Amino acid sequence: MKLLGIDTGGTFTDFVLFDQGQLQIHKVLSTPHAPEEAILHGIAELGLNPAELKVIHGSTVATNAALEGKGVRTVYIGNHGLADLLTIGRQTREELYNFHPKPQPPPVPQELCLETHGRLAADGSVVTPLTDKDLDDLHRALIVLKPQAVAINLLFSYLDGHYEQSIKSIIPDEIFCSLSSEVLPEIKEYERGMATWLNAWVGPLVAGYLKRLSAGLPGAQLSVMQSSGETIAADQAAHQAVRMLLSGPAGGLVGARFVGKASGCNQLLSFDMGGTSTDVALIDGTPRLTNEGRIGRYPVAVPMVDMHTIGAGGGSIATLDAGGMLQVGPESAGAAPGPACYGQGGRLPTVTDANLILGRLRPDAFLGGHMTLDTSAAHNAIAPLAAQMGISHEAAAEGIIQVANEHMIRALRVISVQRGVDPRDYTLVSFGGAGGLHVCALAEALGMQQALVPIHAGVLSALGMLATQPGRQLSRTLLGPLLAMESSKLKQAFSELAAEGIAALVAEGVAADSIEQHLSVDLRYRGQSYTLNVPWRSVTKSIDAFESQHECRYGHRMSMPVELVNLRVALHGPATTIQLTSPNQKGSGTAYTHGKIYGIGGEIPIYARDSLIGGQPIAGPALITEKVATTWLAPHWIGQQDATGNLLLIHQGT
């Protein structure tokens, strides 16, 4: 079958088709009100038969619903006295020294919070049983409340989930039901409850979207990217909505790892600059995962790629605040109407308009010439802002770019410097439609000497969909001193977790003997609240690894017993073998035209990327255009395509 990777972004929906050893790329404007419409439109433009396709795509349905607070009507069921668990949370302030914070609405309105018996103790024994009367009371309450979804989170359900299953049995089939013992069978009732509620809150929306998409692609094999960077079959994804909150960005990191490895760069600092936002992350061989992620103001304890996101993209809107200070973002022009230069009715100045005014975008070379940018509209949009600032249009545009760059530099420092990582030891890899326009400035600000602009950088998240593997991340709490744990008990618990994940992958068509297993444990010193994850090899080796990591992270070891908290099993099926296109050896290697760039004296050469010869060095300043992106090669930088077609940038100093 033909392999099609799709990334649904805030502005564009990207397509990468792998067919008979060749890659083909395509872009269409997104349709945020119904994301499947852009997907179906793009597939039609590519002239593809759905029955011949294996589709892997990143979905923003769960993400947007959570960020915009547009989940479905959801009832939360907890034990007596714990109906307000999600509202109380950890009682932490977003602003530590603000004693009068703005009140936030509770995740679940009080009238939708129900309490019941069926309470377990910390050792799994029954404190109060769940009776038939309790079930009848819940059933009558649900009839009155008429929810679309139900989230069930009972105390210590990770030890025994049979009470949650009993409650599920009385819930009508048409109501989406989410159990904490299935979604996240781990300690910490708040984080477990929040994951369970998020899963129920957005689950029906994800299920409806996937149903509509599947109906529009009859005969296609449809998979979805999870937040951890692995795929899951669409028919299983509907019940795992909470694991899709970073679906699209995860594809970008998988793609960055893939192209970086092809170019011999395994330590990467990535930034994905699209139309609406910028995602930054560290990649040490593989993307890092975290169980302490967030979506908006909500914690998400399921595994997801560890990244930092800011509201700075090509569509970010520039304004002056009340004090006359230039601000860029987080508001975005999005896909509709988009930046003013798109000619779709946008009237406000954006980062894309600023790049066009500065000459770093060519109006006739956008999307390979399939979309012409309106320079006059960009000037008209920026004119009021420039007038308020008392400067030229070009100077105002340069200010917009500088402010946007500062936002991204700060984000890159959060993910690197603030975690004790020296960015100078890494290669900055940029992707997204707008990344190549800013990569040199960001690398210079961080003192980095090398950057990488991948081939097909403008659709790298979609390419990552093709390079990923089917997989599962499973966990279970098994609490106690690690040295006192019986090896047979640990082995059995790992085997049970692995069997669950293998069964799910086999149901997708993955051969059981091709599945790789990676075992790990969450450990802590007795009395600590937080854990460190280390690979599982044996009791003594895992303790040694934990203490070494603890010393590296916190600067000391402790003479305290090491406690096991969670077991984790990562399962991966085989990835599809794809190859990057080799660089052109028959191109002209010469600029196809010249143009003026604001702040640069004289004209600079403009190259078409597909005309470059492998190994040919290009000295900045120069522009390199391609179908889905443009790279601004700043002064004092040398660019050269390597054997895989990726563009390696080297800083030559001033």
Does the pLDDT value for residue 266 go beyond 70?
A: yes
E strand or H helix at 435: none
Contact 270, 256 (CB under 8 A): yes
pLDDT(586) > 70: no
pLDDT at residue 148, rounded to an integer: 96
* Cα 434 to the center of its chain, rounded Å: 17
Q: Given the DSSP bridges, would you call strands 230-233 and 469-481 parallel, antiparallel or unpaired?
A: parallel
DSSP codes of every residue in 195-213: HHHHHHHHHHHHHHHHHHH
In angstroms, the CA 414 to CA 308 distance is 8
- Average pLDDT taken over every residue of the chain: 90
pLDDT at 654 over 70: no
Cα→Cα distances 597→394, 479, 625, Å: 10, 62, 14
Nearest to 423 by CA among 654, 269, 218: 269
Whether the CB-CB separation of 593 and 608 falls below 8 Å is answered with no
361 three-class SS: coil
CB atoms within 10 A of CB 64: 16
CA angle, 140 then 62 then 414, to 5°: 125
Instruction: Please say if the pLDDT value at position 584 is more than 80.
Output: no
For residue 345, pLDDT beyond 90: no
| Calpha distance 432→189 (Å, rounded) | 38
Average pLDDT over residues 427-450: 92
H/E stretch holding 130: none
Q: Please name the helix (run of DSSP H) or strand (run of DSSP E) that holds residue 13, with its range, or none.
A: strand 12-19
Arithmetic mean of pLDDT, 311-327: 88
Q: How far is Cα 457 from Cα 185, in angstroms, rounded to an integer?
A: 38
| SS percent in the chain: helix, strand, coil, step 5 | 35, 30, 35
pLDDT computed for residue 368 by the predictor: 66
List, for residues 119-145, the tens digit of each pLDDT value.
999 999 999 999 999 999 999 999 999
Q: Mind listing the domains of the chain with CATH numbers?
A: 2-66+207-246 (3.30.420.40), 69-202 (3.40.50), 247-297+310-468+575-654 (no CATH), 470-572 (3.30.1490)
2-11, 218-227, 545-554: least confident range: 2-11
Q: Is the pLDDT of residue 637 over 80?
A: yes
Whether the CB-CB separation of 5 and 464 falls below 8 Å is answered with yes
Contact indicator for 332, 317 with CB cutoff of 8 Å: yes
CB 260 within 8 A of CB 395: no
Tokens of 227: 């937040």
Q: State residue 458's pLDDT score.
A: 80
Min mean pLDDT across 134-143, 153-162, 326-335, 485-494 is at 326-335
pLDDT digits (tens, 9 = 90+) for 270-308: 988 877 778 899 998 888 888 888 887 889 999 999 888
Rounded-to-integer distance, Cα 109 and Cα 73, Å: 10
Contacts of 440 (CB under 8 A, 6+ apart): 451, 620, 632, 633, 634, 637, 649, 651
Give residues with Cβ within 8 angstroms of 109, minimum separation 6.
Answer: none
pLDDT score of 45 more than 90: yes
Looking at the predicted structure, is the pLDDT value of residue 366 above 90? no
> What mean pLDDT is predicted for residues 426-449?
92
Is the pLDDT at 370 greater than 80? The verdict is no
Distance CA 577, CA 615 (A): 25
CA 485 to CA 491: how far, in whole Å?
10
pLDDT at 587: 67
User: What confidence tens digit (pLDDT) does each residue in 569-583 have?
Assistant: 999 999 877 877 665
Classify 424 as helix, strand or coil. Answer: helix
Residue 561 dihedral angles phi and psi, to the nearest 5°: -60, 145
3-state SS class at 540: helix
